[in-house]
Amino acid sequence: MSRFVLGKTKRHIPLVVSIGNKNEFDNVRTIRNALYDGADGFLIHTEYLEEQYRSDECLKRIFEATEDRPILVLAYRGPRKDETDDDRAEFLLHCLDLGADSVDLISDLYDPSPDQYTKNPEAIKKQEEFIKKVHDKGGTVMISTHTGRMLTLEETLEIALEHQRRGADIVKMVLMPDDYGMVPEALRICQEVSKALSVPYLFILGKKYGRATRLTAPLFGSCMVLCAGDYHYCTNTDKPHIRAAKAVFDNMDLEIFKAIEYNEKGIL
């Protein structure tokens, strides 16, 4: 299984290109361009694929286009309203059989909840069973929470530590600040949660107030940068382009500028 390791090179923050195209051809095109620009790995939103491109053959060709780079797959709610959470879980497991390395498990899977975070014991048990199946296949699991609002440090810590307890190999938190005044506190939250976890932590501030932190959060402990491989009809333009991110980290010695001490946590 492919891994990135933090702490061993000058630019030790993986640059992972996030892709959500509707068809095989656009996905492969974005992947090939991103490889040329230096992508370390790929995060693929399979929920946006149109039905005819969700076949085993198409998925294999998309995954194979990444060459030897790690692949993390998502199957979020929203675009595919006919799917149940059980359907999504089975699809993610099948993607591992087709060549993916890692899957994203939303932390309210099996129990849609406010802040995308469930405390339902039955749902948590099913999540833990799913995580075991992923690990049995040799894959890794990112557990993610997209809150839609800001949280306090205490609230963020509670959720992140529970992700870790459930078996996450990577913990992902996406908070939504209401103004720029919340950004300094958000970076403090990133730093404190990163130090509290024993697994890698991906911290993102969403929407316009979080744009400045996409490239600065790694200085405070976030384990990777999610980048755009290109900008077009389905790209989240809050993400920095892979070329911009690479230019930043190729010219920044994180041994000097990082705000916390990394402990070589491996990701993906």
Q: Which of 47, 7, 13 is nearest to 27 (CA)?
A: 47
pLDDT reading at 102 higher than 60: yes
Average pLDDT rounded to a whole number, residues 10-37: 91
What percent of the chain clears pLDDT 90, i.e. is strictly above it? 76
Report how far residue 25's alpha carbon sits from residue 6's, in angstroms, rounded to the nearest whole number: 32
78-82, 133-137, 154-158: least confidently modelled range:
78-82
Residue 1 is predicted with a pLDDT of 44
For the chain, the domain total comes to 1
Residue 251 is predicted with a pLDDT of 87
pLDDT tens column, 30-56: 999 999 999 999 999 999 999 999 999
Tokens of 165: 């307890």
Report how far residue 45's alpha carbon sits from residue 20's, in angstroms, rounded to the nearest whole number: 5
User: Measuring CA to CA, how many Å separate 243 from each of 37, 124, 260?
Assistant: 6, 39, 25
CATH number at residue 85: 3.20.20.70
Per the prediction, the chain carries an average pLDDT of 90
Q: What is the 3-state secondary structure (H, E, C) of 70-93?
A: CEEEECCCCCCCCCCHHHHHHHHH
Give the confidence band of 61 by pLDDT, cuts at 50, 70, 90. Answer: very high
- Number of C-alpha atoms within 13 angstroms, CB side, residue 22? 6
Residue 261 is predicted with a pLDDT of 67
Average pLDDT rounded to a whole number, residues 149-162: 97
pLDDT reading at 10 higher than 60: no
pLDDT reading at 112 higher than 80: yes
What b/e string do you get for 169-179 counting C-beta neighbours within 10 Å, with b at 16 or more?
Answer: bbbbbbbbbee
List the domain range (segments joined by +) for residue 216: 4-267
More confident residue, 9 or 29: 29
Residue 234 is predicted with a pLDDT of 63
Report how far residue 2's alpha carbon sits from residue 119's, in angstroms, rounded to the nearest whole number: 32
Report how far residue 19's alpha carbon sits from residue 193's, in angstroms, rounded to the nearest whole number: 27
